[in-house]
Amino acid sequence: QQQVKQSPQSLIVQKGGISIINCAYENTAFDYFPWYQQFPGKGPALLIAIRPDVSEKKEGRFTISFNKSAKQFSLHIMDSQPGDSATYFCAASDYKLSFGAGTTVTVRA
Amino acid sequence: ETGVTQTPRHLVMGMTNKKSLKCEQHLGHNAMYWYKQSAKKPLELMFVYSLEERVENNSVPSRFSPECPNSSHLFLHLHTLQPEDSALYLCASSQGLVLVRELFFGEGSRLTVL
């Protein structure tokens, strides 16, 4: 059973646009929500993470929005750049990480 | 040198071959993992080792056999694989197993089974 559901499967955005990826979960024991970024030919790497006592976390052009009551969280990539083209995985952790299926983001110049 | 190194990066094998994937972590971590990554699917956890002891085996077919001789090295031995086993196999490590917050991944071994 997939513990974290991620959408969309892929998206294309123009340079300078906003990319939005959504994730939902059911397990209320999850207490840590990271996002991983994976470039082609590379392994996933931690990008940004949030804890459920915070509604938003921003690091540069990347922002996580967290809605505890709805059990949803999302990643916003502002001013998207071609170098942001990658696959993004949301995840949730209680004592171990459960990953979403991934979203392939393509930023067109 | 990257924190988690995997070899080989690419492997093509027939269904009757025997091969092994190797992973080495240079981070001083105590836990190591094998994941399978197939297109459009969530990362699939296969095995977890903590201090060389296997602590999780997620219903993986016996044609995949892990080995962890020490906390820095992890192997995945492959034999009589099926074409549907073609995927990217990722090794990862973490500091421990309690309250895992970050996994450090290698670049993966791309396996093609003919």
- Report the CATH number that the domain containing residue A29 is assigned in CATH: 2.60.40.10
> Could you tell me the residue range of the domain that residue A47 belongs to?
4-102
Is A23 within the bounds of a domain?
yes
Q: What is the band of A14 on the pLDDT scale with cuts at 50, 70, 90? A: very high
pLDDT reading at A24 higher than 70: yes
Task: Give yes or no for residue B109 having a pLDDT over 90.
Answer: yes
Is residue A31 included in any domain, yes or no? yes
Q: Has residue A92 got a pLDDT over 60?
A: yes
- On whether residue A25 sits in a domain, the answer given is yes
- The predicted pLDDT at position A1 comes to 67
Structure tokens at B96: 């421990």
- Which residues of A are less than 8 Å from B42 in CB distance? 2, 4, 89, 98-102
CA atoms within 13 A on the CB side of B68: 22
What pLDDT does residue B60 have?
93
The residue that leads in pLDDT, B25 or B97, is B25
With a CB cutoff of 8 Å and minimum separation 6, the contacts of A97 are: A34, A91, B100, B103
Give pLDDT tens digits for A39-73.
Answer: 998 999 999 999 999 999 999 999 999 999 999 99
Which of A32, A43, A99 is opposite residue B108, by nearest beta carbon? A43
A93/B99 Cβ within 8 A:
yes
Q: Is the pLDDT of residue B99 over 80?
A: no
Residue A107 lies in a domain: no
Kindly identify which residue of chain A lies nearest to residue B4, measuring between CA atoms: A43
- Residue B47 contacts residue B57 (beta carbons within 8 Å): yes
Residues 41-100 (B) with a CB less than 8 A from some CB of A:
41-43, 48, 90, 92, 97-100
Within a domain: residue A68? yes
Longest dimension (CA), chain B: 40
Cis, peptide link before residue A8, omega less than 30° from 0: yes
Put simply, the answer to whether B105 touches A45 (Cβ < 8 Å) is yes
Taking the alpha carbons of A30, A34, A37, A43 in that order, is the dihedral positive or negative?
negative
Domain count across chain A: 1
Q: Determine, yes or no, domain membership for A109.
A: no
| Share of residues in chain A with pLDDT > 70 (%) | 99
Please identify which residue in the block is written with the tokens 């990722």: B90
pLDDT of residue B98: 77
| Residue A12 domain flag | yes
Q: Do A62 and A43 meet the contact criterion of CB atoms below 8 Å apart?
A: no
What's the pLDDT score for residue B54?
A: 82
Stretch among A83-87, B12-16, B72-76 having the lowest mean pLDDT = B12-16
Whole-number Å distance between alpha carbons of B80 and B13: 9
Classify residue A51: in a domain, yes or no.
Answer: yes
On the 0-12 / 13-18 / 19+ scale of CB atoms within 10 A, A91 is buried
Q: Can you name the residues that pair with B35 across neighbouring β-strands?
A: B45, B90
CA-nearest of A37, A49, A18, A43 to B9 is A43
Report the mean per-residue pLDDT for chain B.
91
pLDDT at B1 exceeding the cut of 70: no
3 state SS of A82: helix
